[in-house]
Amino acid sequence: MGQWDAWIGRMEHRQDHVDPALVRRWLAMLDRDGLPDDRVPQGLHWCLCTPETATAGLGPDGHPLRDSSPDSFLPPVPLPRRMWASSKLEFLAPLAAGEIVGRRSAVLSISEKSGGSGHLVFVDIEHLTEGAKGPAIREVQTIVYREAASSDAPRTPPPPCDTVFDVSDWTTHRTILPSEPMLFRYSALTFNSHRIHYDLPYARDVERYRGLVVHGPLTATLLLDLASQEWGDNALSSFTFRGLTPAIGGELLHLVMRADGENVEFGAFADDGRAVMAATAIRKI
């Protein structure tokens, strides 16, 4: 028996409204025009059914505090640094602006590992988002908790080197500068108060990042938007992504894609070629 076994199977239910104003703000964050119909592009679900913890209930990092009470959905892992490591998504049906949605979340597994990165705890959570016509998005999200960084730890990621990202192996390529306003807007849209995304002294001096960190799901959203620009909205039936190294706000990000029939491969890279995110998808054909 593991010390966190009581949390496996724990469930949480939330309800939300796909407010057309939220959709417009999300599109504005991405510098996109309005939609031709009421179907919502893939990725906006991360702005729905967000935690509504009171400000007094937030921890030093800006995330909701966790405890051992039956009301605590996530286990009180005593590791202070939290990262969204990966997600596996199935897009079952498009959401529509104006509809009521519900999300059922369940803790699937909790595992501990130790290695070169120190002690780690991985928590897998299944989220099922349902719209007016039934299941819309099924996602298995992996969160990893890590030890605190020492005050003299090297900042991550390392400073850019002299190499240049090679786009020759990719068929679709776009560059974007995830600016501080974009990071702020995404934090606001997702009600995410994790301080690594907006509090530079905290990100740099406490968690030892080289700058403000681009949200993992924001990078994933930018890759989904790359597919939308190529094939139109809601073109994918599945999407899996894994964070590799942090993207830093204010630094150029390369978004790339290549397809072989229905199979699609994505990547996000820093300007010097450092891999930020890897993703795969199945395209509807």
pLDDT in tens, 153-193: 999 999 999 999 999 999 999 999 999 999 999 999 999 99
Query: Residue 183: phi, psi to the nearest 5?
Result: -60, -40
> Per-residue DSSP letters for 109-158?
EEEEEEETTEEEEEEEEEEEEEETTEEEEEEEEEEEEEPPPPTTPPPBSP
Residue 33's pLDDT band, with cuts at 50, 70 and 90, is: confident
Report all structural domains of the chain as residue ranges with CATH numbers, in order of start. 5-283 (3.10.129.10)
Confidence of residue 267 (pLDDT cuts 50, 70, 90): very high
Q: What is the pLDDT of residue 36?
A: 79
Give 260's contacts (C-beta < 8 A, 6+ positions apart).
none
Summarize the confidence of residues 206-235 as an average pLDDT: 97
Q: What is the mean pLDDT of residues 198-212?
A: 97
Q: Kindly provide the b/e burial profile for residues 167-202, where b requires at least 16 CB atoms within 10 angstroms of the residue's own CB.
A: eeebebbeebebeeebbebbbebbebbbbbbbbeeb
pLDDT band with cut points at 50, 70 and 90 for residue 114: confident
Q: Please say whether the beta carbons of 144 and 118 come within 8 A.
A: no
What amino acid occupies position 257?
Answer: M
Range with lowest mean pLDDT among 31-45, 79-93, 125-139, 208-222:
31-45
**Degrees, nearest 5: CA angle 71-73-76:** 95
pLDDT of residue 67: 86
User: Could you give the residue ranges of the DSSP H alpha helices within the chain?
Assistant: 20-29, 180-189, 200-201, 216-231
The predicted structure's pLDDT at residue 149: 92
Rounded to an integer, the average pLDDT of 34-63 is 92
